[in-house]
Structure 1
Amino acid sequence: MTRTKAILLAASALSVTSTLAYAQDAQTQAELDALRARVEALESVGPGSTPGDFRIGNTTLDVYGYVKADFFYDFEFDQGDTAFVNVIGEPSAATSGTFGATARQSRIGLLSNTPSNIGDIQGQLELDLFGSGGTAELRLRHANVRIGDHWLIGQFWTNFQPLDTYPTSVEFNGPVGIAFARQNQVRYTGSLGSDAAFSFSIEENVGGSNSDDPVITAAAEYNDGTYIARIAGLYGQAQDSGGTFEVDQYGVTLSGSARLWEGGLFQVNYTNGAALGPYLIGLGDAVVGGEANDVDAFTVELRQQLGDKWNVGISYGYEDYDLPTSTGTLAFTELETIHVNAFYQATENLTLSAEYIYGERNDVISGQDFDGNRVQFAAQLNF
Structure 2
Amino acid sequence: MDRAHNFCAGPATLPLPVLQKVQNELTNYRGKGTSILEMSHRSREYTEIDRQATERLKKLLGAGDEWSVLFLQGGASSQFMMVPQNFLSSDRTADYIDTGTWSDNAIHEAKLFGNVHVPFSSKSENYTRIPSNSELELSDNASYLHFTSNNTIYGTQFPTEPHVSVPLVCDASSDFLSRPINLDRYGLIYAGAQKNLGPAGVTVVLIKDSFADRQVNIDIPTILDYKTHMKKIFNTPPVFAVYMVNYVLEWLEQNGGIEHFQSLNQKKSEKLYTEIDRDDFYNGTVQKESRSKMNVTFRLNDNHLEEKFLTEAKASGLLALKGHRSVGGIRASIYNACPMESVNALVDFMKDFRQSNG
TM-score (norm 2): 0.22
TM-score of the two chains, using structure 1 as the length reference? 0.21
Q: Which has the higher contact order (CA 8 A, sep 6+)?
A: 2
In proportion to residue count, which structure has more strand? 1
